[in-house]
Structure 1
């Protein structure tokens, strides 16, 4: 193998080692760096001299002419030392750092690595302080003698660490002889001449003065980085965290990604329980986001076994690649600490199992907020489990604590024959449920599950549910059936746009008959009005609705109640055929409308704006936010005419005008509108790909 190919291999081996390190595979990373060291040491002296010249270095080091080494050797040793530190092989880490110092005694980074191992790995602040001080002096000497300029960020970091460690050394009551022995040992290890350290004044540790309860309260207000620094100040501060581990968890999120992090957490908690066997952990939020599907199930199993029955975890957020809903159900069932959960959010694979979400809620009786997101099908779609192991949750539980439920599927069926994820509604009443979001699944053919199941439901969001009832079916249901709840926010978005005569024919016939004098049909209109009487937010984005149906709905709303209306991407709403009188009839029913969303409107032109918006917006309307995004036919002149007319004629200044991906509008026009004070805020993102954003204004893309 020639020199060039070997050098290329070294670089690749280093890169592979770094990738292993980033995902927490420290042993594999260490093996890669070992191979890189062997390759770097395999060069002849002639090859090393040529290679140093290629790297812009002299053939031999000006301060170490008797030794030749690969230009990347110190970088490899630094990476290997860091990996050894992660594996708790501190002596090996010190040896690598010591080799770096022997090769490059004026390289500040070598001393930083040496000191970090002492400070953060071995909790020996005195040795770290001496190392940092010696490194700073050698860097200054190298600059003066050989014109070697250390990196400014390294200088700032090492000075900050020296200032940070000083106070802990001031309070140390060791004798001068002991301190001298420390200095002598560290100097001999690094083969560096030392200078005598000046005496430091004594500073009293506030930990000794304040009661533990007050100290814990102070520490709870620090961020995670500051807490890590506090743990390495001295042994007393370190022990405090083992006696009171909730300092780290009570007001913070615990974020975990890899098996190594979970093992470290397990080790820390086991040590806490050794000191205090009955310590109760209080964790505000536990987040696990998998970075790889390898050994994901084993990693999750270890995470769940880390905690005991009496531990309190309020929120659990799991983001997985290859774990199915059934596997998660087994993990939660086998670990009783889940009974204390108040919020759970799961991203997982879907395996066909009846009543999964209700079995999950049965295992977590105090759950208030549940979010289940399916991102793909499990390789084993149909899994049979013994529901007797979970108790009779579907028959005896009423799920009284549940307030928010989200069932979302991100799986888009590729063919009409592909099996859908089904949701059959609750087996029992959810008395306190206020928000229900169901998106991307298959609903039952009837809405009878909505009849008496949710007496306190305020928000209902049904979006792109495949092979499910249409908007016409929903309106027909609430026309004939009195809901036990008072809906405030209704979103109904269809997965497929159909012809109006197919979707709304039955509903229109029922409503037309109800206009007669028959008491039975008049009762249906009263039921319809009652079901819609509390609505403040109405979203028919991407649905089959027509202006006739819209008028029927608006006429049965409580006058002046509606504040938000979304009519975007509705192909059956032909705004370009709407005249002024028809527009006025709609606006007369919307006196208190504050937010109007009209993205992706067919044929939105100057004439449409004139008839539907400009001539109907007046002082009686309190419109604040207007969304006209994704309308390519909209011109800058149209927007200017709209904003100036509202301001000059009706003294209306919009709080926010949204014009995302309107390519025909010149940015200078929007700047002028904002400068003139015609609109308080303009949102215009020409690169935005879609109007609907997952988790913001949509749950299915």
Structure 2
């Protein structure tokens, strides 16, 4: 029965609660309110026995303090508290009061519940009741302290501050009401006089004399001299500051803040709208057709918009309006843009490239281009080639494709032309960073910007960063295209069809290839990683040039890649500068190949030579058995520089095995700054708390129910 109860508690409430908090951070309070309400209903539907077991595991009594016949989920209080906060944000104060009263009922010793109730009363214009609540809160804090219960100093201060504030406010209201009554009585007794309009004279700084600054105490005590009441002349910064200073201040604000400043007064509106070059940053996310029209009218009629836009971020709310809105923006914008960031859901990026390529002024000075969108290879017309032909100063290009259409029969009719690099030598000299990140690799045939890899003559001497994921390299017979990027410092190749690690290393057997590489990540696709190269034996003449080319590598990540064992251990033993290493799911390190558990035969013996290693990741060791964790514990304590260890998604790892590794490190004077054990289902919360309590690790990242590790972009690989 206990196993069935544990199976029911699958973390659904926790995930819903976290999602609701994210909606609150995005100020989507209505959506967050709906999520919290649904989660509370789900928590009340749990069986009583299940709720009792969950409360016991959380260190709480079985039943509620206010009614022993009832029990609620430990997360129920947090959900209720968050729901009350959302009700306040959406303006439903009456309901917030009722929810807060219920909160105080189920948690009579909770200072947070009383604070919520007092705030709800304040927002509902019930100051007297709010004052009584805060008074009760001060009394509760005193009682809890006497019982030795720890009370938040923030809550204690809030109770005192709000109580005194409301007390002062009530006193002021009484004084004002008494003055009003006495004034009304006096007005009935004093005869009315004709009111005379007295013209006020503007007081300037030059008109203020010394005797005007004398205080009331220095005046004649007999009252013969009347006290002078002067108005201080306020200085308008926009009116007095020079134009250069106004431009410098306003350029530090975003467009939304500048337009808000224009609403301060008519003078501010005229001044800011006619001051040139204060707006050179345009961010229009989740926009629509009407807002773009308004933006273009503003840009064309106001001098405050610079002729060169430093940054333009653009996305459309409705997917069916993406093409129409994009065409309107690019046709109406008459400025140069240096950095362009576009985000679409269904719009084909080839259509986007076509729209941009036709606008000569828009792309005349374009240096950074980033686009996220849809890819349809059935409508190929070489728009990427034309785009590169017309841009001379492009330094960074980033293409992210979320979805793609299945290629049709005619998807390769333009393949021959598409594979030719454009007739533009400037682009090969100006490019510094290339990111081609594709979510899926279900299509065949050339991908967008495949021309970059196809040219046999051009070299990209200034490209220092190259990231390619989910691309089809089967049209490239070898990996010799990498020689066109001689000065790379950061290379990330992941899940690319037709590109294996062993094949890539063969292209490094020539001297002076990737000599400056510092960060090297190569993660094979599932079709490549299933191969076995253990039968291959490379000679020293083949391996030595590879070691020389990769001698400056500081980060090495070959997770999920197949490699010959002889080549692997030469790399791990003879690369001197490695500071970050990821060898997750590498079969050649399986403990099946190393059946003994003594220190001289462990698969991790190479760690002895990595004296500079700071970050070690061994996730998803699916090919490792129980011996692997003991073998790791035998050697890892010799790495004195280690500060971060990632053992995520190792479902076979038990709590005692993790404890063994951490104790070995701690006993040798090594305290990890970070330990990551996400997705390790057999590691209990007790083990984690014990490690934290003993101070073996400064910080533990642990999400037991995490299903996969994926960050679209640079880290697009999932472990399971």
- Is TM (by shorter chain) over 0.5? yes
Name 1:461's counterpart in structure 2: 492
- CA 177–327 in structure 1, closer or farther in 2 if over 3 Å, else same: farther
Name 1:219's counterpart in structure 2: 250
Tell me whether 1:340 sits opposite 2:335 in the alignment: no
Tell me whether 1:599 sits opposite 2:619 in the alignment: yes
- CA 572–647 in structure 1, closer or farther in 2 if over 3 Å, else same: same
Tell me whether 1:263 sits opposite 2:293 in the alignment: yes
Structure 1 alignment gaps of length 5 or more: 1-21, 23-139, 145-175, 179-198, 516-521
Name 1:434's counterpart in structure 2: 464
Supply the distance in 1 between the matched residues of 2:485 and 2:545 (Cα, whole angstroms): 17
Name 1:489's counterpart in structure 2: 519
Supply the distance in 2 between the matched residues of 1:484 and 1:576 (Cα, whole angstroms): 34
> 1:682 aligns to what SS in structure 2?
strand
Q: What is the aligned counterpart of 1:617 among 617, 630, 636?
A: 636
C-alpha contact (below 8 Å) 2:480/2:507 kept by paired residues: no
Tell me whether 1:402 sits opposite 2:393 in the alignment: no
Supply the distance in 2 between the matched residues of 1:262 and 1:462 (Cα, whole angstroms): 38
Tell me whether 1:316 sits opposite 2:340 in the alignment: yes
Name 2:330's counterpart in structure 1: 304
C-alpha contact (below 8 Å) 2:445/2:472 kept by paired residues: no
Supply the distance in 1 between the matched residues of 2:608 and 2:383 (Cα, whole angstroms): 46
> 2:267 aligns to what SS in structure 1?
helix
C-alpha contact (below 8 Å) 1:230/1:237 kept by paired residues: yes
How far residue 564 of structure 1 moved from its aligned partner, in angstroms, is 1.5
Name 1:371's counterpart in structure 2: 398
Supply the distance in 1 between the matched residues of 2:413 and 2:307 (Cα, whole angstroms): 35
Name 1:527's counterpart in structure 2: 545
Residues 74-128 of structure 1, C-alpha deviation per residue, up to 9 Å, x if partnerless? xxxxxxxxxxxxxxxxxxxxxxxxxxxxxxxxxxxxxxxxxxxxxxxxxxxxxxx
C-alpha contact (below 8 Å) 1:619/1:652 kept by paired residues: no
How far residue 654 of structure 1 moved from its aligned partner, in angstroms, is 1.0
How far residue 439 of structure 1 moved from its aligned partner, in angstroms, is 0.8
Residues 227-255 of structure 1, C-alpha deviation per residue, up to 9 Å, x if partnerless? 333111111211223223643434x7454
> 2:509 aligns to what SS in structure 1?
helix
Name 2:375's counterpart in structure 1: 350
C-alpha contact (below 8 Å) 2:614/2:642 kept by paired residues: yes
Supply the distance in 2 between the matched residues of 1:271 and 1:358 (Cα, whole angstroms): 36
Tell me whether 1:291 sits opposite 2:309 in the alignment: no
- Structure-1-length-normalised TM-score: 0.62
Q: How many residues align?
A: 492
How far residue 271 of structure 1 moved from its aligned partner, in angstroms, is 0.9
Tell me whether 1:327 sits opposite 2:351 in the alignment: yes
Residues 494-545 of structure 1, C-alpha deviation per residue, up to 9 Å, x if partnerless? 112558775465xx34x1xx34xxxxxx3x4442222221211111112223
C-alpha contact (below 8 Å) 1:254/1:287 kept by paired residues: yes
Supply the distance in 2 between the matched residues of 1:499 and 1:304 (Cα, whole angstroms): 44
Supply the distance in 2 between the matched residues of 1:235 and 1:656 (Cα, whole angstroms): 55
Supply the distance in 2 between the matched residues of 1:421 and 1:386 (Cα, whole angstroms): 10
- CA 530–296 in structure 1, closer or farther in 2 if over 3 Å, else same: same
Bigger shift: residues 661-670 or 393-402? 393-402
> 2:688 aligns to what SS in structure 1?
helix
- CA 379–475 in structure 1, closer or farther in 2 if over 3 Å, else same: closer
- CA 501–316 in structure 1, closer or farther in 2 if over 3 Å, else same: closer
- CA 621–420 in structure 1, closer or farther in 2 if over 3 Å, else same: farther
- CA 653–325 in structure 1, closer or farther in 2 if over 3 Å, else same: same
- Structure-2-length-normalised TM-score: 0.61
